[in-house]
Amino acid sequence: MAIIKVMNNNSKKSKIINETNDSDVFASCSFSSLGLHQTLCDQLKERLGFEVPTQVQAKAIPVVLSGRHVLVNAATGTGKTVAYLAPIIHQLQSFDTRIQRSDGTFALVLVPTRELCIQVYEILLKLLHRFHWIVPGYIMGGENRSKEKARLRKGVSILIATPGRLLDHLKNTSSFTHSNLRWIVFDEADSILELGFGKDIEEILETLGTRKDGSPKNSSETSKVSGASRQNILLSATLNEKVNQLAKMSLENPVMIGLHDPKKQSELVRSRMESVKNGADGGLENHGANLGSAVEEYRLPVQLLQRYIKVPCGSRLTVLLSVLKHLFEGEASQKVVVFFSTCDAVDFHYSLISEFQWPPGSQSEAEQRPKFLKCNTIRLHGNIKQEDRRSAFHAFQTEKSALLLSTDIAARGLDFPKVKCIIQYDPPGEPTEYVHRVGRTARLGEKGHSLLFLQPIEIDYLHDLEKHGVVLTEYPLLKVLDSFPLYGLKYQTKKFESFEMHPWVLSLQKALELFISNEFTMKKLAGSAFCSWVRAYSAHRGDLKRIFVVKKLHLGHVAKTFALKEQPSMVTKSMQKQRTNKRKRDLKQQGAFKKRKVFQKK
């Protein structure tokens, strides 16, 4: 019963991670006492400023050093990256014969996004400063393939990769040596499958010959680490069926770290017993992980203040802008992330925030009027060019005060220092997504707060979160709205039937609509954002369709959230597109295209 033993040991050694004070976040031991080489401990201190390990590092490092397969489940921002990088580096530097570039790749770290790829690579670079013979590298979508090929040909000892690009090189780069591969790490394990990389992962594991038994595919291949078998490591802040799937696919008799609360343990045992009873299993020791199907209780940092804003659809935009204004005017250095459901929505809000001025006035005084929001605004999403994505990511990392508008690209694993507030303007999909999004703040014991926007018709989402032990309180919106001065108008009464009737909201909405209607480019952006937002809303899956019901939306009110006076005709638009396509097809068939070209040349 190795799994249970380890979990019992862990629960004796440490307290639950989600506490606020340092002694609960950090372990009372040193990195060297965990068995790490002194030079590596020095690097952790000098390059990263890490004096002592976090609780999860203290638990995971010895287990990774032992060579067992591991599943680490720990809250966001608890230091999971170093928990696997440090022991891998320790092992690599300790080989009797120094490894060489020509030995190829020893460790592979799979991550779901390009930004996370760069982030892990940068930490790795720092840790390897004094181990120059261990070569770090990364391969990911959007980068130059031939340059990557050249790097792989020369040899990369520790390779960080996104799954699609890795598979591409496994198939097409014959000089990519991986016969010495000893570690495969799945960072943000649940997300890798959620983002649709499932097939790629199966193929990767098949190609690398490491489905569970860990033996290299070709036993005749000489291995630098002969005798040592493959070790697979899975890390995630949330557990769900996807992690279960990946664990079953890749882990053999794993040690579970973080699954130490009694509820999870008994779930694990129960689901194991059921499998045994059904004849599908032989016992706890000999099989892959199974996390059971019970509803998982999420572990969020307790210092995280979680609130929701219940706001009618038509007032969402004005409320968002007001809350942001309140935050940025309240504190000199403020770092906020706002999550949107689509790239178009990010683009629209980015342009709006960058250009909208306040108080409203005539065109002639436009140059003197200040911006409504005085903050450095950055945007990040998948349709931005790779170089711009990279610089946006770095800009938000280094800025002391900034606003990041992003899709879920920024939800997983990204470590932006000092983020104080997370706003989920468009609600997340699965509750796990909620956890990862809010996990960008309140990291490693720091303070942070989060705001979830919900329309009155969506309020049941709170019950879904409650099932996972996540309880939110209501944000004092009225107090915030009342704090804004109105130009020329006075608040008649403090009681409004709905926020839509609040004088501040009314005047701001009017100014926004005027601004959009006068700016052709903005109107176009708003139209595209509206269409993609409705499409994303209707794409909610499974159980969430019960809460996010597109038919219950008043599209006129949705238009108001993009400061449009009326809804753009999505139907007409798509019909027009269909008609144009059909006309083109017909013309092509008749050879009319050619004739027209000849005619034009004349």
Ligand X SMILES: Nc1ncnc2c1ncn2[C@@H]1O[C@H](COP(=O)(O)OP(=O)(O)OP(=O)(O)O)[C@@H](O)[C@H]1O
| Site residues (vs ligand X, CB under 6 A) | 50, 53-54, 57, 74, 76-82, 237, 413, 415, 439, 443-444
Classified as helix, coil or strand, 133 is coil
> Residue 19 corresponds to which tokens in the numbers above?
């506490």
Task: With CA atoms as reference, report the closest residue to 93 among 127, 51, 117.
Answer: 127
Cβ-based neighbours of 168, under 8 Å, separated by 6 or more? 145
Please state the closest distance from residue 123 (CB atom) to ligand X, in A: 7
Cβ 54 to ligand X, closest distance in Å? 5
CA 280/CA 261 separation, integer angstroms: 26
**Residue with smaller CB distance to ligand X, 82 or 378:** 82
**Smallest gap from residue 395 Cβ to ligand X (A):** 17
Write down the least CB distance from residue 3 to ligand X, Å. Answer: 22
Task: Find the shortest distance in angstroms from Cβ 158 to ligand X.
Answer: 16
CB count in 10 Å sphere of residue 51: 11
- From the CB of 429, what's the least distance to ligand X, in Å? 18
Smallest distance, ligand X to C-beta of residue 447, A: 14
**Closer Cβ to ligand X, 55 or 180, answer by number:** 55
Nearby residues of 570 by Cβ (< 8 Å), 6 or more positions away: 530, 531, 534
- Cβ–Cβ < 8 Å for 271, 290: yes
- Please list, in sequence order, all residues whose beta carbon lies within 8 angstroms of the beta carbon of residue 6, skipping any fewer than 6 positions away: 63, 255, 256, 257
Task: Select 49 or 262, whichever has its Cβ closest to ligand X.
Answer: 49
Beta carbons of 383 and 360 less than 8 angstroms apart:
no
CB of 112 to ligand X, least distance (A): 10
Rounded-to-integer distance, Cα 14 and Cα 596, Å: 77
CA distances from 471 to 209, 299, 558 (A): 44, 12, 27
CA 107 to chain CA centroid, Å, is 23
Residue 247 exposure: Cα atoms within 13 Å on the Cβ side: 26
Closest to ligand X by CB, 321 or 435 = 435
First to last CA, the chain: 84
| Closest CB 81 distance from ligand X, rounded Å | 3
Least separation in angstroms between CB 140 and ligand X: 17
How far is CA 387 from each of CA 47, 78, 149, 266, 391, rounded to the nearest angstrom? 26, 29, 20, 48, 6
> 344: closest CA among 419, 405, 256?
405
Give how far Cα 496 sits from Cα of 315, 426, 484, Å.
13, 25, 16
Which is closer to ligand X, CB of 80 or CB of 165?
80
For 78, 131, 134, 174, 458, the CA distances from 139, given in Å and listed in that order, are: 26, 21, 17, 15, 40
Which residue, 256 or 536, has its beta carbon nearer to ligand X?
256
If the CB atoms of residues 252 and 415 are measured against ligand X, the closer one turns out to be: 415
C-beta closer to ligand X: residue 29 or 514: 29
Minimum Å gap between C-beta 74 and ligand X is: 6
Pick the closer one to ligand X by CB: 59 or 443: 443
Q: How far is the CB of 440 from ligand X (least distance, A)?
A: 7
Q: Kindly tell me which of 76 and 351 has the beta carbon lying closer to ligand X.
A: 76
Select 36 or 373, whichever has its Cβ closest to ligand X: 36
Q: Based on CB atoms, which residue is closest to ligand X, 288 or 301?
A: 301
Which residue minimizes CB distance to ligand X? 79
Q: What are phi and psi of 448, to 5 degrees?
A: -175, 155
Per-residue b/e over 318-338, b at no fewer than 16 CB within 10 Å?
Answer: bbbbbbbbbbbeeeeebbbbb
* Cβ–Cβ < 8 Å for 499, 479: no
Listed residue (202, 283, 191) closest to 237, CA to CA: 191
